[in-house]
Structure 1
Amino acid sequence: MTTKQPNLQHIEACIAACLACVQACEHCASACLAEEDIDMLRECIRNDHDCADICALTARLLMRGSHLYGEACRLCAEACAACATECEKHAAHHDHCRLCAEACRACEKACRELAA
């Protein structure tokens, strides 16, 4: 059985989305820690850290052409969806959460397309 290999353009787009998401998540987590009501943002910070770690791993696996890219992209899409959902709850009050949610949704889409 032969598996379809993704084209280079899709791989590069997914890597870029993953790296942009890492940056947005790390910035969001740091900015959340500087907010006055950290208790309200605890879950956001947890999701930011998890998402950033999974996105970084996924980008590295894609860069090296690992055969695990499909599984990594599926996990990354799930982490991005969870992070975006949480950040969207705070997006009206915190610009860093809005920007993070946008980056997460873009990465989720790129990873789902690549894993398909």
Structure 2
Amino acid sequence: MLRAVSVNPLFQVRHERRDDGVVVIAGGEIDLATSPKLREALLNPEARAASVVLDLREVTFIDSSGLGVIVGQQKRAQEHDERFSVAVGGASAVQRILELSGLAKVLDIVAEPAERLA
């Protein structure tokens, strides 16, 4: 089941429930204006599962506010003993900022959601 959360042409986010977890798929630009929508999508009850993958493969830009949302989700996942992964395959700009910020060392980075969820 897909559910659109935002129809902003620069940013879109939706949930995809899978048997073993949830994929939160984001596309477009994640910045100060759109990061609250990403946070809202991650906090949505539909995105709660023992395993969540944030799919950023369609993201073209991410700034520090977007990184803050990712860090917050990582912390929540740890506090609730949940698995949180970030898929970045093909999104070189996202991969680069995660590496430069040092987050690539603490996040579970995968190329695609299927590496963690069937």
TM-score by length of 2: 0.30
TM-score by length of 1: 0.31
Whichever of the two has the greater Rg, that structure is 1
Q: Kindly indicate whether structure 1 or structure 2 has the higher relative contact order, using CA contacts under 8 Å at least 6 residues apart.
A: 1
